[in-house]
Structure formats: structure tokens, C-alpha cells
Amino acid sequence: MTRAQLTEKILDIKRAQGWTWKYICDEIGGISPVLVVGALLGQMKLVKPLAHKAARLFGLSELEERMLNEIPHRGMPMPPTDPLIYRFYELVMVNGPAWKALIEEEFGDGIMSAIDFDMEIERLPHEKGDRVKITMSGKFLPYKYYGSEQGLPAYGYKEA
């Protein structure tokens, strides 16, 4: 069985049982719903205790449980073709240069981690149609200026 086949099996069971992602995440617990759903869709891994809970919930074999605990090959071809995912791609293409400039001005020469990272998604009622609120928080990781001489900064933190 491939990881893609396991994802399809999980989606088939979800569909047949009439489960929501909220129900599944409440049953598995332990980490952010974004990570649980990401793991069940093949983009993240579940730590062993959570892989075991997921395997029990979905009636998976021991081999399939182990597969949920493996580090997956992440990502997708670019640009994405799904309209919702494409909007995120578009957000980055259009706003990315401004985000980069503002982050660098505030923090220095570095990146925002997508590994040491938190994300929350919530629904906000609005009279013109409900809104999606996504909050992202990633650790700032400065570039290391390796080989820097005495007295020069070793990392790309904002200089005073």
C-alpha cells in the first residue's frame, strides 16, 4: 500500500461513516486539528500514540498505523490547481514581497519557520458573509553569517 492509497482509504471510511473532520480531530486529539487532518491527508506524520488512536478509529492494520507515523514526502505540484489552495498561492505571490520586507524590517535577515509554527483557523460571523480567519505564528530564524570575523554579527538579527 502506498501513502496515497492509505489517504484514500481514510477518506473512504470518513465518507462512509459520515464523520466530520471536527469529530475525527476530537477523537484523535493531542495536537492541532490542522496537523491531524494534514497527517490523515498524507502531508504530516502522527506521533506513535496518535497514530495508534487514528488506527483504532479507522480500523487500520498495524502496517497502516506505522505508515501514519512515517515522515511523508510533503508538498504538491506548483502552481496548485484547486481553487481554494490556489488562493493561498496567490496571496503569497501578491503579498509575499510586502510580508518579506515588513518581517525583515522588524526582525532582520532571516525567515519565518514553517516547522516551529502554529496555526489556527476560525469562522467569524459577518453580515456580508462569514469570514475565514487564519492566524499563523512562526519562529523567526535568522540567517547565520558563517565565517564572520571577530566583532561582526554571526546572525542576521536586526541591527541597532
Active site residues: 87, 90, 113
Instruction: Name the grid cell of 95.
Output: 503579498
110 contacts 140 by C-beta, under 8 angstroms: yes
